[in-house]
A and B are shown apart, each in its own frame.
Chain A
Amino acid sequence: MNTIRAIIVDDEDLARQIVREYLREEEDIEIVAECTNGFDAVKAAATHKPDLLFLDVQMPKLDGFEVLELIDREIAVVFVTAYDQYAMKAFDAAAVDYLLKPFDQERFRTALQRARRRLGEGPRMPSASELRNAAQAPGQHSQRIVIKDGTRVHILPVNQLEYAEAQDDYVALHSGGKTFLKQQTISSLEAALDPSRFVRVHRSFLVSLERVAKIEPYTKDTRIAVLTNGAQIPVSRAGYMRLKELMDKS
């Protein structure tokens, strides 16, 4: 049997301790790292290439869902938390399991069984970012965007995002003269943001409504949105309808 490489992420010593203790009896699982915050977890996932993640939701720096978003590898995730409000969503998105603190060893073994089965199924697991998107509560929108740049992590509050542009598998996020590249589709970014503040004006462009200074005609069917920072964004016909509808509302 292959060894499963696992990382434990929790800011409380005792909470990590109990997972470690339960894992001691599992011969096929090796703990490759323990992390006390979100940043370290993202870093450890990149260097240790784990198969399995025990992940707390509420932690310093980045919460569990933000950590998932920044891990682009396919990893089986078991949430370990005292909060039950994300449980349903995480399950819908096929997180391996959701352990509510405190839990006993039998319950923990069930989670491990599920993880083994999932890992045995091969690579078709929902990616971490898919999990993250599905785990978003309806009507709740991201207040910030996390971006990984090599080993560094940037946190971009959404009110600083001017516009986003699709570039193949990435989105380029523009803010204050800087550009951040993030591996994400523009549609999933759009889905995570507040639709009353961000408009998809074009197949490849998403703009912040409050940054739009004016809209000028371009060709017969298309227009150009000029942002407060001077950037010119193409606006498609459908995009213009959406923009207009939103501006009329506000």
Chain B
Amino acid sequence: MADVLSTGLSALRATQRALDTTSHNIANVSTEGYTRQRVEFEARKPEFSAGGWIGTGVQVSTVRRVYDQFLAQQTRSSGTNLARLEAYAAQAERVDNLLGDTENGLSASLQSFSDAIAEVATTPASLPARQALIAEGRALAERMRSYDTRLRAMSSELNSRLGVEASEITTIAQGIAKLNGDIAVATQQSGQPPNDLLDQRDKLINELSGKVGISVVPEGDSQVNIFIGSGQPLVLGNTASQVTTQVDPLDAERTVLALRTSTGTIDLSRVISGGTIGGLLDQRSQMLDPARNELGRIGVAITAQINAQHREGMDLTGALGGNFFNIGAATATPATSNAGNAAVTVTRTNIGALTANDYRLERTATGYSLTRLDTGAAVTFTGTGTVVDPIVADGLSIVVGAGIATGDQYTIRPTRDALQGMSVAITDASRIAAAAPIRASAASANTGTGSVTSGEVLDPTNAALLTTVDIDFTSATTYTVNGAGSFTYTPGSNIDINGWRVQINGAPAVGDRFTVRNNAGATGDNRNALLLSDALRAPSLDGGTTSAYAATEKLVADIGLATRTAQVNRDAEASIHEADVAAQDAVSGVNLDEEAANMLRYQQAYAAAAQIISVANEMFDTLLAAVRR
């Protein structure tokens, strides 16, 4: 009789727990990271009575999380990948939107500039056309500069984002460490798993893995240790390390992540991968920095080509052309750790050999080593770094000043800072050198059939370039230059004097004279303007295989392609992750219909258990009534 009551009570208690759990499940149907729980029943220890073992009812053995370790891990790993790819693709899309604009992109600016040159070539005396060329040159420089500024802004934004992510990682790591402690205490006290705390910890671990690649290693039966990068401890038991950012010792412009532990600070920049941070870092090294360098390189190429040609021309005032564009110099930044204080000067000497790479120059015990910053591969060079014998590599000439110490490092950026200094050097439209500086003509009294080409400039720095030179034929096959010497005439061969070149063709007669003179006053001459417009299209980069145009188009295409790839990868990973989440959900998620059915079931069980109490009560009443009578 007492047994009936206690059995009934045990059933009441157990179904009550089951209903509690069911309502907890229902209550948490929308809680992210919640794992459904299930009450495990077991029969109580039976009592032996005459004739056999009598059951004593039911008890709750445990409340279990319906959780699959393997699925959870899979979801976490695809989550890390997805977060990395999402961050990468989002950043790539921004770069692509900036550079890949097919209507108003860099190609369009370059084309407008080229059109303006062509316009000057067609109407060289027209001041409006010249003014338009200066304006288009400015627009091109501004466009390139603004691209650079935007990319620079993205880079510094990325730096500050790294800072935010680092502090978030620290917060999460601290949360995990605290939960580790709580879970250990709770488990120890009850011997039962604190399911909701475990869920919370799993949720934090997932969040963390979305930020950065981690490895999770269980410690004991209730705690987890978390390692970051290549095994640097982030959470050990209930203590967490701090992730911070610090300025890259080799590049003041960029921020790197570091782990502050009790024993010191560990640089994470080389070992970290995965998650949002991994995506951002990959993005910086694979797209942002190369794009900036490449843009710089294109700017350098345009400037070098146009300036070289412009200097070979003559402007409306009769002066030789100067530089058309200004451009920023190549830079060499000493590492903050340097012991010496030598100044390193880098000049670009060969546009064709210039790359979009950055380099590290290090003083070794025996000389120097030059490596690529991105891959660390050694770069071959010649020279010893002195003024007379500079280090020459990849189109650069590097001179190291006095005071260098062994182990000193310099980051060399050939093109990174070029565009910030890009502008048009000319303000006066008449200073555009559309004309050639010299003109060659045959004397009108010539009786032979000799003709002379209009002449080209080989060396605009020759001091005697504009000096009048008479070529007088002393016979059909010989001539003098300014009355001196006797040179053999070969039709069509080059005559190079004073930094210019002409060719004489045909059959000049004795006494015929050809004169090369200063072209001042030839306001309608467009010879140099035509050469300027050719210069823009001439392949000058990559060893003379790529024009500034082609390099621009290649940059846009490369970024477009990389963005496309990133998007495809992201979408693929998104569906993998979605499948993983669905698989995990299928096991651990709450289904309301299922809970409704369970509620119904437990409600009925509860009613039945209550009925047992009632029966026990009636039995007791019956017994009492029998005794009273």
Interaction A to B: no
